[in-house]
Amino acid sequence: MMRPRAIGAVRPFGGGDGAVRCEVVAVGTELLLGQIVDGNSAWIGEQLARAGIDCRFQVRVGDNRARIAATLRQALGRSEAVIVCGGLGPTQDDVTREAVAEAAGVSLRRDAAMGERIRRGFEARGRRFAETNLRQAELPEGARFIPDMPGTAPGLICPVGGKVLYAVPGVPFEMRRMLETCVLPDLRRRSGARAVIRSRVVKTWGESESRLAMLLADRIEALAGAGGATLAFQASGIEGLKVRITVKAESAAAADAVLDGEEAELRGRLGDAVFGTDAQTMESAVLGLCRERGESLAVAESLTGGLAAMRLTAVPGASEVFRGGIVAYASDVKFSLLGVPEGPVVSRAAATAMAEGVRRRLSASVGLGLTGVAGPAEQEGRPAGTVFVGLAREGQAESFEVRLPGDRAQVREHAVITALNLVRLRLSGSDRSAALR
Amino acid sequence: MMRPRAIGAVRPFGGGDGAVRCEVVAVGTELLLGQIVDGNSAWIGEQLARAGIDCRFQVRVGDNRARIAATLRQALGRSEAVIVCGGLGPTQDDVTREAVAEAAGVSLRRDAAMGERIRRGFEARGRRFAETNLRQAELPEGARFIPDMPGTAPGLICPVGGKVLYAVPGVPFEMRRMLETCVLPDLRRRSGARAVIRSRVVKTWGESESRLAMLLADRIEALAGAGGATLAFQASGIEGLKVRITVKAESAAAADAVLDGEEAELRGRLGDAVFGTDAQTMESAVLGLCRERGESLAVAESLTGGLAAMRLTAVPGASEVFRGGIVAYASDVKFSLLGVPEGPVVSRAAATAMAEGVRRRLSASVGLGLTGVAGPAEQEGRPAGTVFVGLAREGQAESFEVRLPGDRAQVREHAVITALNLVRLRLSGSDRSAALR
């Protein structure tokens, strides 16, 4: 069904069968020079995938009007929609507006209302207004501004024949806001797709990919034929393995019901390897368990140098259960402040003493201790990657040794998540061997 | 001058005037889906810029033979060289070899010696060899393998007319090795450019971009005409502003001499706003100054929750001067462990007491204290972003207040670099106001 054409009116592509392709063009010489990594295109690609919109090419091009225009024309030739990101600022370098107009074969006009809005924005921030800023009030004939304008640069929606070009700023939070409030909903409407695609990520730690694959093999097979949910593995390095559940359904409520069911299925199969979903992290899981169980936590760190405390305190509300930590980097600080017996400090005994010491010193119910060799040099005759983790609670303590791979930074990251996972397992009553990774 | 054509022989482009353009094509559906951020292209772009090779486009394309081949053909049409990255593995998804052959208009042949090398590699690692791995021993007619093979996938150099296509694996360390040992030297030889391009980054903290621009304006102007060094500003967010000096010279020694002279010039103009060059960080500068002056350091952290300690201990060799830290997250830990007087803990007095307390507790010569409101909620009636920094040395202490912008993570990062910068200024004898940002 074709609706009548109007500026900014929504026209479904390809007869409303949902077969929409959208290309992403990132503009900026600094991207080509490698001064900035193009995280914007990756983020946009992920959103398009979630919306069920196919993205076959992503192109980066410098601040050159002719090359941007040529790139946009090619993209419009092979896709129904194009998102161009960056080059919308007020300086002479910023030529995306001109390139969009050139690709659309129209001229630019200045919008008086937007000019006034930009001028008032400067006044409100007490900044001097320069006439050159009015370049941002220009838009191609037939285009309109994206209503939401979280920064100082307006975005554009520019229809080109039956296709569409969206121009958004390169500043990540401005780009994201415009995509979420305008571009993605518009693309979904244009695609005519009535289905809702939702996904949920189930996060695990402590199992290998091959073991997860084995535990889920028959489930993946059963789902493959059913046309409902799909499961996909995603590695996230030191932070563990993720299983993404994706569902296409008639409504958000229907999709969520399938996601809930599938998450329960996964949790049943994977047990306490699962530490959270979506935005949950290992540290938020640990803090949540402490809160639930009425426990308080303190950490004593040597090789990780504050990284465990830093991650825990990055979670808003951590102060309710996290008492604090002691970074005992020098050996004598371990002896004097944490009561570690004088002697080797890269040992299970030292890790246990650190955990118990910090628990008492900071009046916490749970104490965690981390000592080891981050590298690059060995210490006390032990190679880089040797790590000891101690856990102390009222009247009980345990410790274990792990050998962690990678460089100094990786060993530290890996040590922290290993230690936090131990707290998680013990607070949730699991007797799983925490040394397994 | 044209040399006779031979497989893999070096032919200068464009008459040896150095005008070489090289496009980068990154292959992988996971890149388009945003599951991986394309850091490879950014890194390659930076290397090309340093080698004086122009890069006008970077394209990401999925694991689709026809689309990769079309992308390579287009790239060869507008550039003298193309680096394609990814899709060289042994599975059916990996179709870059086929696409390179298609773009070059030749067929693939299997190289027996490479097949044997791959088979032996499996045996050496005790892994079962599957025949499908022999796909990696295939190469387009007229092409040769890149000699260095740090992983399991060989790279390719494929001449196409007077132009060249390089195919390298997507695994970052394999890609980087092949570029450094083969692709970049080959490109430089082909460009016929004898000049060496070198750059150095001078890192500053505490001055605005407009003030730096003012301090350097006449120097930038003087250099612009001279054809020697050039200066460019680069923002690096919370980590400060960088000035990149780039030099083109006859030899590495000549380039380094110019860089040394220009760095001295910048340091003279910018004074103690400069904290380091290239790989140096604020924390390595602080640790270096401590080592030089025979000082030892301890930190007491509240809102930053271990981030300062974590950054300091990320530097190898930190243990020589860094004693450790106390993360006093709960107020009563500040009172009991650091001797902060009971009362408001978000205050200049608390910051000073924390600095002095941790200095004594950990027997350090310099103590740093950080307290404040990371947000999102206010605390003690003070808004998020309010931060107090205290510095204590034998017989003296100072503190100051700053208001920092951004969300919880940004406030924490900003607080830490502000505090480390205070230590740097005072150890180097500067009386610059540390509250200036």
Q: Establish how many alpha carbons lie within 13 A of residue A4's alpha carbon, considering only the half-sphere containing its beta carbon.
A: 1
Largest interatomic CA distance in chain B:
84
The mean pLDDT of A336-363, rounded to a whole number, is 97
Mutation target vs B (from A83, A283, A327, A365; most B CBs, 10 A cutoff): A327
Q: Quick one: pLDDT at residue A435? A: 52
- The number of C-beta contacts closer than 8 angstroms across A and B is 203
Q: Name the pTM for this structure.
A: 0.79
The mean pLDDT of A118-131, rounded to a whole number, is 80
The pLDDT of residue B350 is above 90 = yes
Query: Quick check: A55 and A20 in contact, CB under 8 A?
Result: no
Per CB-CB distance under 8 Å, the chain B contacts of A57 are: 32, 59-61, 67, 71
As a whole number, the mean pLDDT across chain B is 89
The mean pLDDT of B303-327, rounded to a whole number, is 97
Mutation target vs A (from B322, B326, B336; most A CBs, 10 A cutoff): B326
The mean pLDDT of B378-397, rounded to a whole number, is 95
As a whole number, the mean pLDDT across chain A is 89
Task: Read off the DSSP letter of residue B58.
Answer: E
What tens digit of pLDDT does each residue of A377-397 get?
999 999 999 999 999 999 999
Name the region of A166 (left: φ>0; alpha: ψ -120 to 50; beta: rest): beta
The pLDDT of residue B232 is above 90 = no
Distances (CA, A) of A126 to A123, A405, B405: 5, 53, 17
Q: Which of B32, B337, B363 sits opposite A361 (nearest CB)?
A: B337
Per CB-CB distance under 8 Å, the chain B contacts of A314 are: 305, 408-409, 412
The pLDDT of residue B209 is above 80 = no
What tens digit of pLDDT does each residue of B125-182 get?
777 788 888 999 999 999 999 999 988 889 999 999 999 999 999 988 899 999 999 9
The pLDDT of residue B247 is above 50 = yes
What tens digit of pLDDT does each residue of A303-345 get?
999 999 999 999 999 999 999 999 999 999 999 999 999 999 9
pLDDT grade, residue A10 (50/70/90)?
Answer: very low
How far is Cα B89 from Cα B421, in angstroms, rounded to an integer?
Answer: 47
The torsion defined by the Cα of A43, A49, A51 and A52, in degrees rounded to 10, comes to 160
pLDDT above 90 as % of chain A: 68
Query: Quick check: A166 and A146 in contact, CB under 8 A?
Result: yes
Gyration radius (Cα) of chain A, Å: 27
Beta strands in B135-216 (DSSP E): 138-140, 144-145, 156-160, 163-168, 196-204
Task: Scan for tokens 């932070």, then name that residue.
Answer: A239
pLDDT grade, residue A193 (50/70/90)?
Answer: low
CA distance A302 to chain B (A): 8
The pLDDT of residue A415 is above 50 = yes
- Tell me whether residues B49 and A33 touch, CB distance under 8 A: yes
Q: Which positions ≥6 away from B318 have C-beta within 8 Å?
A: A305, A329, B287, B312
Q: Which own/partner pairs from A393-400 qualify as long-range (CB within 8 Å, at least 24 positions apart)?
A: A393/A359, A393/A365, A393/A366, A393/A367, A393/A426, A394/A365, A397/A352, A397/A355, A397/A356, A398/A352, A399/A348, A399/A349, A399/A351, A399/A352, A399/A355, A399/A369, A400/A348, A400/A433, A400/A434, A400/A435
What tens digit of pLDDT does each residue of A195-229 get?
777 889 999 998 877 788 889 988 988 887 776 78
> For residues B49 and B160, which has the higher predicted lDDT (pLDDT)?
B160
The mean pLDDT of A114-138, rounded to a whole number, is 85
How far is Cα A252 from Cα A247, in angstroms, rounded to an integer?
Answer: 10
- Give SS3 for B180: helix
What tens digit of pLDDT does each residue of A32-43 get?
988 788 999 999
> Helices A209-226 and A252-270 sit at what angle, rounded to 10 degrees?
140
Backbone angles phi, psi at B75, to 5 degrees: -65, -40
Minimum mean pLDDT range among A324-328, B188-192, B234-238: B234-238
Task: Scan for tokens 């025949």, then name that residue.
Answer: B131
The pLDDT of residue B321 is above 60 = yes
Backbone angles phi, psi at A169, to 5 degrees: -65, 160
- Give SS3 for A299: strand
Q: Fill in the amino acid letter for A428.
A: S
Reduced DSSP (H G I as helix, E B as strand, rest coil) percent helix, strand, coil of chain B, to 5:
45, 25, 35
- Tell me whether residues B234 and A35 touch, CB distance under 8 A: yes
The pLDDT of residue B437 is above 60 = no
CA distance B33 to chain A (A): 5
Q: Which of A304, A323, A329 sits opposite B322 (nearest CB)?
A: A329
Q: Quick one: pLDDT at residue B193? A: 67
Mutation target vs A (from B53, B60, B71; most A CBs, 10 A cutoff): B60
> For residues B406 and A145, which has the higher predicted lDDT (pLDDT)?
A145
- Give SS3 for B205: coil
Q: Quick one: pLDDT at residue A434? A: 59
Q: Quick one: pLDDT at residue A212? A: 85
Query: Quick check: B247 and B198 in contact, CB under 8 A?
Result: yes
Task: Read off the DSSP letter of residue B182.
Answer: I
The torsion defined by the Cα of A29, A34, A37 and A41, in degrees rounded to 10, comes to 40
Mutation target vs B (from A27, A29, A32, A408; most B CBs, 10 A cutoff): A32
- Give SS3 for B170: coil
- Tell me whether residues B330 and A362 touch, CB distance under 8 A: yes
The pLDDT of residue A7 is above 60 = no
The mean pLDDT of A148-172, rounded to a whole number, is 93
How far is Cα A169 from Cα A159, in angstroms, rounded to an integer?
Answer: 18
Per CB-CB distance under 8 Å, the chain A contacts of B313 are: 304-306, 327, 329
pLDDT above 90 as % of chain B: 67
Direct distance between the N- and C-terminal alpha carbons of chain A, in angstroms, rounded to an integer? 55
Task: Read off the DSSP letter of residue A53.
Answer: -
- Tell me whether residues B412 and A71 touch, CB distance under 8 A: no
The pLDDT of residue B1 is above 80 = no
Tokens of B51: 């080698």
CA distance A110 to chain B (A): 29
The mean pLDDT of B22-38, rounded to a whole number, is 90
Q: Quick one: pLDDT at residue A51? A: 82
How far is Cα B397 from Cα B360, in angstroms, rounded to an integer?
Answer: 13
How far is Cα A244 from Cα A222, in angstroms, rounded to an integer?
Answer: 16
What tens digit of pLDDT does each residue of B83-96 get?
999 999 887 788 99
CA distance A135 to chain B (A): 22
Question: Cis link prior to B383 (omega < 30° from 0)?
Answer: no
Pick the most confident of A221-225, B14-18, B224-228: A221-225
Q: Quick one: pLDDT at residue A437? A: 44
How far is Cα A117 from Cα A123, in angstroms, rounded to an integer?
Answer: 10
Per CB-CB distance under 8 Å, the chain B contacts of A376 are: 316
Task: Read off the DSSP letter of residue A54.
Answer: B
pLDDT above 70 as % of chain A: 93
CA distance B26 to chain A (A): 10
Query: Quick check: A231 and A261 in contact, CB under 8 A?
Result: no
The pLDDT of residue B112 is above 60 = yes
- Tell me whether residues B42 and A34 touch, CB distance under 8 A: yes
Per CB-CB distance under 8 Å, the chain A contacts of B42 are: 31, 34, 36-38
Q: Quick one: pLDDT at residue A228? A: 78
- Give SS3 for B117: helix
CA distance A383 to chain B (A): 15
